């Protein structure tokens, strides 16, 4: 059995290059909180698994973070940030990131836990704080819009189509026996929603 020297050299060179080439790294996200199992689960389930997550204070080999995320922002932290103050190392880092022009996403705002009990003017104050913080670059997390939505209703109305468009969907998959109202068809054309029937 003879070995072709050229093939052998090419296969060795390919293997060496493969081992020298660093593995493709996922984009990095800095979570502005201490690592905790519940927080880590919440972040990865809401934001998605296509990222490498690092938590505040952890060593990392990431060259650059593509996103900054706060799992939850309490009312005291909101009040401080809204007037340009920060207490504690994490909120100081948040303020620094905002001053550098970075966008910081918030998964949940603590004031919303009090929507049933807080007096109207107090609740409105925190809504204004949220608007102020949005102007600073601190924004509410927006989940990735689904490409298509499956609807199991037998009658597809204009509201169903507009709700699908509101969620960011580009396609509406409906039952093969579903009836579309004329207004639903018109809304689909106006909103660039493709309606397809499933088998």
22 inside domain? no
Average pLDDT, the chain: 87
23 inside domain? no
182 and 97 co-located in one domain: no
* Residue 199 pLDDT exceeds 70: no
* Residue 170 pLDDT exceeds 90: no
11 inside domain? no
The tokens of 33 are what? Answer: 């909180």
48 and 127 co-located in one domain: yes
Q: Which of 91, 115, 140 is the last residue of a domain?
A: 140
33 inside domain? yes
**Using DSSP, how many helices (H) and how many strands (E) does the chain show?**
7, 10
pLDDT tens-place string over residues 74-96: 999 999 999 999 999 999 999 99
The tokens of 167 are what? Answer: 């969620």
Q: Which of 123, 140, 157 is the last residue of a domain?
A: 140
In angstroms, rounded to a whole number, what is the distance separating the alpha carbons of residues 187 and 115? 34
Q: Using H for helix, E for strand and C for coil, what is the string for 91-118?
A: HHHHHHHHHCCCCEEECCEHHHHHCCCC
90 inside domain? yes
5 inside domain? no
The tokens of 172 are what? Answer: 């509406």
* Residue 11 pLDDT exceeds 80: no
Q: Which pLDDT value is given to residue 49?
A: 81
Give 101's pLDDT tier (boundaries 50, 70, 90).
Answer: very high
161 and 69 co-located in one domain: no
Strand partners, 53: 29
21 inside domain? no
120 and 43 co-located in one domain: yes
Torsion of CA 67, 85, 56, 54, to 10 degrees: -10
The tokens of 70 are what? Answer: 């706060």
Q: Which pLDDT value is given to residue 103?
A: 96
Give 163's pLDDT tier (boundaries 50, 70, 90).
Answer: confident
In angstroms, rounded to a whole number, what is the distance separating the alpha carbons of residues 174 and 153? 7
The total number of structural domains in the chain stands at: 2
* Residue 154 pLDDT exceeds 90: no
In angstroms, rounded to a whole number, what is the distance separating the alpha carbons of residues 168 and 148? 9
39 and 136 co-located in one domain: yes
152 and 111 co-located in one domain: no
100 and 170 co-located in one domain: no
| Host domain of residue 161 | 148-197
Q: Which pLDDT value is given to residue 196?
A: 87
Closest-CA residue to 104 (of 135, 59, 63): 135
pLDDT tens-place string over residues 12-47: 777 776 666 555 578 899 999 999 888 888 888 888
* pTM: predicted TM-score of the whole model, two decimal places: 0.64
106 and 34 co-located in one domain: yes
Mean pLDDT (whole number) for 162-189: 86
76 inside domain? yes
* Residue 132 pLDDT exceeds 90: yes
């Amino acid at each position: 059995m003879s070995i072709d020297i050229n093939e052998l050299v090419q296969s060795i060179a390919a293997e060496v290059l493969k081992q020298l080439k660093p593995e493709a790294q996922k984009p990095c996200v800095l979570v502005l909180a201490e690592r905790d199992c519940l927080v880590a689960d919440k972040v990865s389930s809401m934001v998605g698994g296509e990222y490498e997550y690092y938590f505040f204070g952890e060593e990392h080999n990431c060259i650059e973070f593509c996103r900054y995320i706060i799992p939850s922002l309490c009312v005291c932290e909101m009040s401080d940030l809204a007037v340009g103050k920060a207490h504690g190392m994490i909120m100081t880092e948040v303020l620094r990131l905002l001053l550098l022009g970075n966008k910081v996403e918030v998964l949940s705002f603590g004031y919303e836990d009090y929507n049933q009990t807080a007096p109207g003017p107090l609740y409105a104050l925190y809504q204004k704080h949220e608007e102020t913080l949005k102007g600073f670059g601190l924004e509410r997390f927006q989940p990735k819009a689904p490409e298509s939505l499956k609807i199991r209703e037998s009658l597809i109305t204009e509201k169903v189509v507009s709700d699908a468009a509101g969620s960011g969907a580009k396609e509406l998959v409906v039952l093969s026996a579903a009836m579309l109202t004329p207004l639903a068809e018109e809304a689909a054309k106006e909103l660039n929603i493709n309606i397809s029937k499933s088998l």
